Amino acid sequence: MESINIQEEGLNLKATELRLGLPGRDETEKETIFSFKNNKRAAPKSTEDNESEANSDAKHGDHEAAPAAKAQIVGWPPIRSYRKNNFPPKKAEAEFGIYVKVSMDGAPYLRKIDLKVYNGYADLLRALESMFKLSIGYYSEREGYKGSEYAPTYEDKDGDWMLVGDVPWDMFMSSCKRLRIMKGSEARGLGCGV
Amino acid sequence: MDPVRKRTKDLSKSVDSAHLAPFPDEVLEKVLSLVKSHKDRSSVSLVCKDWYNADRWSRSKIFIGNCYSVSPEIVARRFPNIRSVTLKGKPRFSDFNLVPQNWGADIHSWLVVFAQVYPFLEELRLKRMVVSDESLEFLANSFPGFKVLSLLSCDGFSTDGLKAIATHCKNLTELDIQENGIDDLGGGWLSCFPETFVSLEVLNFASLNSDVTFDALERLVSRCKALRVLKVNKHISLEQIQKLLLRAPQLMEVGTGSFQQELVPRQFAELETAFGSCKNLHTLSGLWEASSVYLPVIYPACANLTYLNLSYATLQSDELSKLLPNCSNLRRLWVLDTVEDKGLEAVGSSCPLLEELRVFPADPFDQDMVHGVTESGFVAVSSGCRKLHYVLYFCRQMTNAAVATIVKNCPDFTHFRLCIMNPGQADYLTNDPMDEAFGAVVKTCTKLQRLAVSGLLTDKTFEYIGKYAKNLETLSVAFAGSSDRGMQSVMEGCPKLRKLEIRDCPFGNEALLSGLDKYESMRSLWMSACNLTMNGCRQLAKNMPRLNVEVIKDEESDDSEADKVYVYRSVVGPRRDAPPFVLTL
């Protein structure tokens, strides 16, 4: 609707400050930024438009969103913060690629796991061991998974193959795209100098 | 037991035959103490001095809808024997981030007075108040008989404050913590209930985000034999809720934790049995992330359910359609709009006794969504559920014709809250404003007490409201109206209006001042992002000294504009705790 467009024009800079993506962030306080002064200033204008629209025959019910992404209006729709912050996740796969494929050298097909269900590396490795019926052993910073038959590796966001365990768990969760369990003999080269 | 303060006899009164009471004061007090509703009590106190005094001395429960309308000292002076206090603080729009932090509504000064005057205070129910950990600790240590703590939409405290409550309130029967802006520092508070503590009847920590020690919870539930309400948070697993239900089959209201867990058939069967064993269960909520796979475990309990809250479960229409035929006794149903119109059709066909429906948006900020519910879902519910009287409906499209049909099917609406999520959106079929929709609502639903309007609305909507909504008490308006005439129509009509909240509407000073005669009979008025100026507000303040006219200053706005205005009646004048950004005119 035209009135909304007018509000948008004045809001460009501030609009980019706000996240337009999925809700669920902790910092909904950002929405209390009173950046919608223009929103208010536009109100008198918008009412004229409303009136003329209401009166004219050519009422265009253009209630589709304007081509540019709509800026979020503070406190609208009127949903309590608690509900906004705790929206249940969509049933479809989460955006962050938490479901990752796991391949094992020599296995006929791949598996898929949800990284979010694990508490940390130990949990993940035990799960992989159980899933593929193998042993991975223990991680050490200096020697990787030296001594074990298999080593878990992952492809990160840059497309590089990394040894599982080097970075903090949270960082791993957000950068891991897929897992590959390598045979120890191949992995030895990865144990140092990654 | 507890000493109730007795009034000293006023001898001169009883001698004067013209003022002879028909029966002794104690009898009058006893009779009046059976009058429970606070509105009725208020009426009682206005009859005559004798009745005022009888009410004074016998009143044990007090409800204060606006904490700034009165002071704790005045309350204490008038009512010597209060055991239960309900207080509401911030304007409702603070729930939607329209009120800045540190605005006020701090409970502490109230508690200090209560500690002196009501050492036997038992119940405190707060809504939209600021509560600090210090206050909670002070509360826990000041009232030995304290029983009920209910905090809804409050902020300012952390789980540390809850630790104090759990540790010190030996007679606690209710702990109800809902949707607060709380600092969740961990679930250790629950373990602070001593092993000797057995009196809990209501425990609701559904909206707390951290883990409690399950062991402690299980033991607590086991030893509190009178527990009737248990609402846990989403960290409690299915397996754990099963154990809790086995411990407490007497539960009447249950809020489950997460409904997502890999279960083996045996566990599934055990859960079914557990739900089936709760013969008194009438309210079920929680059901976080419930999926069709595990939802059937609740079927044994569904026949008795009267209130089902599925608003944290992203159910699809077929899942709801399978569930609802089991729930023919439902009176209240809350769902997400993921169930879509088809799901709502199932509501209409399965729940003939339904009285309240709330449909929340799963994705309120996603503009591209083509899902959710439309007008046809609402119509379907109305045609199957003729007893519907409370609705909260978030949708992306609506028509005047649909609303007319809905109220024709259900003329008994008392609460009609329709939120068309795109501000100022017209009837999508005719492109007309939604005036006729709300016109139909107010004309048909003569019992209407609460109304929230949305969509493209001209002054006509408000003319209808002013003319027809004779019982309307609460009105919420956003992005609506064409001129001052709109708000004026409401102020000139609506004889029972008590709360009016308006945002982003073209109402200016003339509209504001048209309500001069009305504001003292209202609890409050909120107007933000309208066309008010400081001068208009000053004029209101000048003419009505018993109103507090507060302007919340916006740093970015012009000095002459009054961006956020909050007007309320008060017997104590301007509040002394106003922060620098609140100007009382």
Give the pLDDT confidence score for residue A98 in this predicted structure.
75
Cβ separation B424–A1 shorter than 8 A: yes
Tokens read off for B383: 């045609």
Q: Is A59 in contact with B426 (Cβ distance < 8 A)?
A: yes
Tokens matching residue B444: 């048909």
CB-based contact B211:B187 (threshold 8 Å):
yes
Comparing CB atoms, the residue among A63, A84, A86 nearest residue B422 is A63
Instruction: Answer yes or no: are the C-beta atoms of B211 and B235 closer than 8 Å.
Output: yes
pLDDT band of residue A157 (cuts 50, 70, 90) is confident
Question: What are A4's strand-pairing partners?
Answer: none
Q: Are B134 and B115 in contact (CB under 8 A)?
A: no
- Give me the pLDDT at residue B213, please: 94
Round the average pLDDT of chain A to a whole number and report it: 65
For residue B167, the model assigns a pLDDT of 97
Query: 């962030």: which residue's tokens?
Result: A25
A131 pLDDT above the threshold of 90: no
Per CB-CB distance under 8 Å, the chain B contacts of A34 are 554-556
The residues, any chain, with a CB within 8 Å of residue B485's CB and separated by 6 or more, are B459, B462, B463, B511
| Residues of chain B under the 50 pLDDT cut | 1, 11-14
Are B337 and B314 a contacting pair, CB within 8 Å? Answer: no
Among candidates B207, B432, B531 on the partner chain, residue whose Cβ is nearest the Cβ of A82: B207
A128 Cβ partners below 8 Å, 6+ apart? A102, A113, A134, A136, A152, A179, A181
The predicted pLDDT at position B576 comes to: 93
Distance CA A160, CA A180 (A): 12
Chain A residues closer than 8 Å to B364 by CB: 23, 77, 79, 84
Residues 6+ apart with CB under 8 A from B577: B104, B106, B109
Is the per-residue pLDDT at A95 higher than 50? no
pLDDT digit string, tens, across residues B190-248: 999 999 999 999 999 998 988 899 999 999 999 999 999 999 999 999 999 999 999 99
Angle between helices B49-58 and B25-32 (to 10 degrees): 60
Which H/E stretch holds residue B266?
Answer: helix B265-276
**Complete DSSP assignment for B442-480:** HHH-TT--EEE--SS--HHHHHHHHHH-TT--EEEEES-
Quote the pLDDT of residue A41: 37
Please, what are the domains in chain A? 108-185 (3.10.20.90)
Give residues with Cβ within 8 angstroms of A92, minimum separation 6: none
Tell me whether residues B365 and A23 touch, CB distance under 8 A.
yes
Q: CA-CA distance, B325 to B351, in Å (whole number)?
A: 8
Residue B203's DSSP bridge partners are B175, B230
In this complex, do B364 and A47 lie within 8 Å of one another by their Cβ atoms?
A: no
CA distance B385 to chain A (A): 26
Interchain CB distance below 8 Å, B313 and A88: yes
Q: Tell which A residues from 7 to 26 touch B, by Cβ distance under 8 Å.
A: 20, 22-23
Tell me whether A28 touches chain B (CB under 8 Å): yes
Most confidently modeled range among A93-97, A177-181, B156-160, B350-354: B350-354
Question: For residues B283 and A32, which has the higher predicted lDDT (pLDDT)?
Answer: B283
Residue in B95, B289, B506 nearest the CB of A47: B506
B180: chain A residues, CB-CB within 8 Å:
82
> Tokens 């309208």 — which residue?
B530
**What does the pLDDT read at residue B19?**
57
Q: Which residue, among A19, A25, A87, A93, would best test binding to B if mutated, counting the most B CBs under 10 Å from its CB?
A: A87
Question: What structural domains does chain B harbor?
Answer: 1-59 (1.20.1280.50)
Q: How far is CA B529 from the centre of its chain?
A: 24
Residue contact A59–B458, C-beta within 8 A: no
Report yes or no: A69 at the B interface, CB cutoff 8 Å: yes
Does residue B519 contact residue B543 with C-beta atoms inside 8 Å? no
Nearest to B314 among A65, A69, A90 (CB): A90
Are the CB atoms for B431 and A55 separated by under 8 Å? Answer: no
What's the confidence (pLDDT) of residue B500? 98
| Predicted confidence (pLDDT) per residue in B517-543, tens digit | 999 999 999 999 999 999 999 999 999
Residue B483's pLDDT is 97
Which secondary-structure segment (H or E) carries B564?
Answer: strand B564-569
Question: Cα–Cα distances in Å, from A27 out to A30, A86, B25, B162, B244?
Answer: 6, 12, 57, 23, 34
pLDDT at A108 exceeding the cut of 70? yes
B210 vs B198: CA distance, rounded Å: 24
Q: Identify the pLDDT of residue A26.
A: 42
Which of A19, A45, A81, A116 to probe the B interface (max B CBs under 10 A)? Answer: A81
Per-residue model confidence (pLDDT) at position B532: 95
A39 touches B at CB < 8 Å = yes
CA of A74 vs chain B CAs: smallest distance (Å): 7
pTM of the model: 0.78
CB-CB neighbors (< 8 A) of A28 in chain B: 97
Quick check: B128 and B98 in contact, CB under 8 A?
no
* Distance (Å) from the alpha carbon of B556 to chain A's nearest alpha carbon: 7
**Residue-level pLDDT at B21:** 58
Residue B370 CA from chain centroid, whole number: 30
Distance CA B333, CA B230 (A): 19
Q: How far is B209 from chain A (nearest CA, A)?
A: 9
Per-residue model confidence as pLDDT tens digits over A38-79: 344 333 333 333 333 333 333 333 333 344 445 678 899 999
Spell out the long-range contacts of A8-17 with Cβ–Cβ below 8 A and sequence spacing 24 or more: A8/A66, A8/A68, A8/A70, A8/A71, A10/A38, A10/A39, A10/A41, A10/A42, A11/A35, A11/A36, A11/A38, A11/A39, A11/A71, A14/A71, A15/A69, A15/A71, A15/A72
Minimal Cβ distance to A75: which of B93, B361, B424: B93
